[in-house]
Structure 1
Amino acid sequence: MKLAFGCDPNATALKRLLMTEATELGHEVVDYPSEDPVYANVAIRVAQDVVAGRADRGVLLCGTGIGVSIAANKVPGAYCACITDAYQAQRAARSNDANLISMGSQVVGPETAKVLLREYLDGVFDAASRSAPKVDRIRDYEATGV
């Protein structure tokens, strides 16, 4: 899987650690380096590239994970879940078909972040699941505004 990683300056160390973890798991990694404290800029770039298919999934990091998630979710077709535990990481992919995740470098420790990344990457959305109509409703609203 091709993964796009982006962060603000607060999360550079965690991004590097997770990129190494992803590489060791056999994934291709694309780094979106940023010294820009305006985290929305890198989050939007990563989300745009995931939506355009230049990456399969994205991983965004900032101090809390919240800001980059909000910014990414403004890109039509981007579905970024801010995660803090293994269950959320699993469900982001399996139940919600999230194509991006975000984490906070001041919220989760490095070992927990690696577990969250692995759980998310192992998840596959089941279009026949009971979650599918819920995800379809989100996409319908995005497309029609109704």
Structure 2
Amino acid sequence: MIDQNPSDDRLRVAIGGDHAGYPLKQVVAEQLAAVSYATLVGNVIDCGTDSTARCDYPDFAIAVSREIILGNADRGIVVCGSGVGVSVAANKIPGIRAAICHDTYSAHQGVEHDDMNVLCIGGRIIGSELALEIVRAFLGARYTPGERHQRRLDKVMEIEAQGRDALGL
């Protein structure tokens, strides 16, 4: 399922969501596999859930993040009811830079300036058409490591490396 062609610059995308995010996750996953996304997406890794049966959002934030950390995916998308829970959970994982985005500007700017690698969306907050526009903006963006962006990202990564010691307490 993983595209091993190094000359292929299409993204490998992991997607997951809890029961509240399941309907929107399914719509997004189906569209990512469609021909209209073929220039952006090489393959899609579905990390679950597979139904609306109650489950816990941290499990899917972990599953999607695992695929990125292992190098199986370049970007991730996680969906819960509000998008907040999966954002909080994903950001606890070193190497993950996740943000809740319910507009296209934040979705592409988060990648371009902050090297965001996980998009979080709320299945109970936005409709499928807007979600697909946001996903396209997220996947179409590339990090632009200008001096000020890289300086700020380096500081964020230092906070991550220091953990609680970054507080200076």
Mean Cα deviation higher: 37-46 or 110-119: 37-46
Measured after TM superposition, the shift of residue 23 of structure 1 is 1.8
- Which position in structure 2 is the counterpart of 1:102? 120
- Which position in structure 2 is the counterpart of 1:8? 18
Measured after TM superposition, the shift of residue 36 of structure 1 is 5.2
| Counterpart check, 1:75 vs 2:85 | no
- Which position in structure 2 is the counterpart of 1:46? 64
- Which position in structure 2 is the counterpart of 1:29? 44
Query: What SS does the aligned partner of 1:84 have?
Result: coil
Measured after TM superposition, the shift of residue 128 of structure 1 is 2.3
Matches of 1:52 and 1:83, distance apart in 2: 24
Query: What SS does the aligned partner of 1:3 have?
Result: strand
Asked if 2 retains the 8 angstrom alpha-carbon contact of 1:48 and 1:75, the reply is: no
Q: Which runs of 5+ in 1 are unaligned?
A: none
Query: What SS does the aligned partner of 2:45 have?
Result: strand
Asked if 2 retains the 8 angstrom alpha-carbon contact of 1:22 and 1:29, the reply is: yes
User: Percentage identity across aligned positions?
Assistant: 31
- The one-character-per-residue Cα deviations of 1:86-117 (angstroms, maximum 9, x if unpaired) are 11111111111011010001111110000000
- Which position in structure 2 is the counterpart of 1:140? 158
Which amino acid in structure 2 is aligned with residue 14 of structure 1?
Answer: L
Larger radius of gyration: 2
Query: What SS does the aligned partner of 1:103 have?
Result: strand
Aligned length: 146
Question: Which of 103, 120, 123 matches 1:85?
Answer: 103
Matches of 1:4 and 1:106, distance apart in 2: 21
TM normalised by structure 2 equals: 0.82
TM normalised by structure 1 equals: 0.94
Moved over 2 A (4+): none
Asked if 2 retains the 8 angstrom alpha-carbon contact of 1:10 and 1:62, the reply is: yes
